[in-house]
Structure 1
């Protein structure tokens, strides 16, 4: 199992955002661009890029040639690697991706204040 996390401490600069967006296929690019709020667009872009980068590295593929599809329930998967499982979650300034050779899930939450345990 592999876990990667990215912390977005501020907005992604427009030029960097556009460079990241170009890597994505048209359908994913449109999905990212539909978000109205800049922080949501940034998290969506980082989520898409992180999932693809981890899959490309794990499977020895070029990032530009990653083909992603979605199940009937909307869960993304890479049809060329059916044994590669991943899940992306984000909350606040964090984006987390978990990948493994078996089905995985992740939940990420930030708390606005301390909570007694």
Structure 2
């Protein structure tokens, strides 16, 4: 069954706690985190990695130092020697989310913020752009991020990153279902949206339709369990 977890970054963690948690990630991850110019970006990346490690360790019974990750030819992160555990990570502003499944999965979260909607012409199909423009002006931003997260979740599920053009498929939304129209090899997938926060859009795309009803919200103390794993 699909499991979805979230951590809300209400307050930035202290430098002491940051350094403490940093000791539980790989050396490669440490270097990437240290290269962030902004502390909040580094914090999101660290919290996402720790949350993933806690979830996977408790799910499959491994120790944290036994976990090993690698990237496929397109850059999608995977677990070494674990063919039946897949995951996806996303973070935006105050939220970090992780999805875990026995099949490939993709998750995306985005804060709804002001943008120039002309960007939709660049990344969306004509059908998707028209879908946004057909709604009330006040709702267009919300619908833009609705489509964006759905499309990004599909890209993450497929695992080919920039090799999958956002214009190579259309998300079709009606009153009851979310479907995909594409000539891509991956056509048989399922979508689910979650209301994690009024100011955000969150979408999950999976090969199986075994979605949970709710997101499991974790706190900082839950992340500290990493020291015992």
Task: Give the alignment's TM-score, normalised by structure 2.
Answer: 0.48
Q: Deviations over 1:24-81 (max 9, x none)?
A: 1111111111111000000000111111111111110111221111112221111121
The secondary structure found in structure 1 opposite 2:111 is: coil
The secondary structure found in structure 1 opposite 2:41 is: helix
Q: CA deviation at 1:112?
A: 3.1
Who is 2:35 aligned against?
34
Gap regions ≥5 residues in structure 2? 115-137, 144-229
Gap regions ≥5 residues in structure 1? none
Who is 1:61 aligned against?
62
Q: Deviations over 1:71-110 (max 9, x none)?
A: 1222111112121010000111100000011110011011
Structure having the higher Rg: 2
1:100 aligns with 2:101: yes
Structure 2 distance, partners of 1:17, 1:73, is 30
Moved over 3 A (4+): none
Who is 2:90 aligned against?
89
Task: Please list, as runs of the form range in 1=range in 2, the aligned pairs for 1:1-80 lying within 5 A after superposition.
Answer: 1-80=2-81
Q: CA RMSD in A?
A: 1.4
| Higher strand residue share | 2
